[in-house]
Structures are given as structure tokens and as C-alpha cells.
Structure 1
Amino acid sequence: MKPGTKLKSAACDTEVMVIRCGDGSIECGGAAMGEAKPEAVGTPSADFAAGTLMGKRYVDAAGTFELLCVKPGKGSLSVDGVALQVKDAKPLPASD
């Protein structure tokens, strides 16, 4: 997988764009994400049902993976079963 790839969830309506990617399986709602739109959308696993927010970037603890949410959904993002966190915004410099 390379940066710029758009992935779709099989468990909800979530769609993400890959910004940075390492080795591992990107999942949403507990199900693997793919480039093709799934024929039938399932339901997110109870452990991964926190939801995604449009326009937010999601990263893993090591900073290996970074995903941009382009369409929100009910499932939460993970890599190999480890949940991703919302990336904190950088503070703007003070202007006096």
C-alpha cells in the first residue's frame, strides 16, 4: 500500500486516505479495509465502535501509520487490532 490510497470499510461507511503506511493490516470496526467498495456493509465490532470523524487524522503510537478520514462512520480505526488515536493539532504561534 502506498500514500494516497483510498480505503473503504466493510463494517460501516468510513473511508480513509493513507498518508503514511507501514507493515500491517488497516482495519475499521474490526474488519479489514480494502480499496474496493464492499458489496454489503456489515456492523462494527463492539470493541471498535467508537466512530470516526471527517477531516481528522488518525495515527498509531509509533507514528508508522497515518490515515485521513474522508468519510465518517460508526467503526473505529485500528492496525492489526491496535486502536489508532486522533492526531493532535499543532498549536499556532502567538501573534501580538
Structure 2
Amino acid sequence: MTVIKPGTRLRSQVCQTEVVIVRAPAEPLSLTCGGKELVSVDTPVQATGPVPGHEGGNQLGKRYTTGSGGSLEMLVTRAGAGTLAADDVPLVLKEARPLPASD
């Protein structure tokens, strides 16, 4: 488990996914992608493919969160085949806020 802060750049050990932390909780979390812990973007990795059951994938430019009003939010800067998770709970795609109606 690691304490993270906004602006931290992380990468997956199993696929090409890279993320930036947008909002982080005060308590430590275990952040994973494809079933393996996320590491610093400076860490060299050998992509081995997601662990079975963790290959849902993610989308470039989308924000993922721990749920509605969640304390964790991350932006995908490079998409990959692994599922993003916090403490073994898959993150959900953050929905865009609707634009105000114009009359």
C-alpha cells in the first residue's frame, strides 16, 4: 500500500497503461492494473499481459474513480489491456457532467 498524491505518474507492470493521479485519498491504497501493482513511470517493466480476470482494459483520456464521489480519481494517459483497481476493487469510468440545457 502506498500513499499517493495528485500529479503522481504511474504505469502498469503487465500492459502499456500509464495514468496520472488527479485526486488522491489521505489513506494509503493498493493501486493495480491487470492484477499487478502500479509502479512509477521511471521503473522499467516487461509487459507480461494481465492476470486472468483482470483484463477488462481502459480507455485513453478517460478518468477512472472509486465510484460516485470517490476519493480517488486517475486519468489514463496511455491505454492498455489491464483493469484498473484500488484495493482489489475495479475502478469505474467517471461519467461526464451533463451540459446545462439551453432554451
TM-score, L = length of structure 2: 0.87
C-alpha separation in 2, matches of 1:56 and 1:12 = 17
C-alpha separation in 2, matches of 1:76 and 1:69 = 12
- The answer to whether the Cα contact below 8 Å between 1:7 and 1:33 also exists between their aligned partners in 2 is yes
Please, which runs of 5 or more residues in structure 1 have no aligned partner? none
In the alignment, which of 45, 52, 56 is matched to residue 58 of structure 2? 52
**Cα RMSD between the aligned structures?**
1.2
Q: C-alpha deviations, 1:13-43, integer Å up to 9, x for none?
A: 0000001112211100000001133331121
Count of aligned pairs: 96
Following superposition, the deviation at residue 90 of structure 1 comes to 0.2
In the alignment, which of 72, 75, 78 is matched to residue 65 of structure 1? 72
Runs of 4+ displaced beyond 2 Å: 36-39
Please, which runs of 5 or more residues in structure 2 have no aligned partner? none
C-alpha separation in 1, matches of 2:39 and 2:89 = 18
In percent, how many aligned pairs have the same letter?
Answer: 41
Aligned to 1:31: 36
C-alpha separation in 2, matches of 1:48 and 1:64 = 22
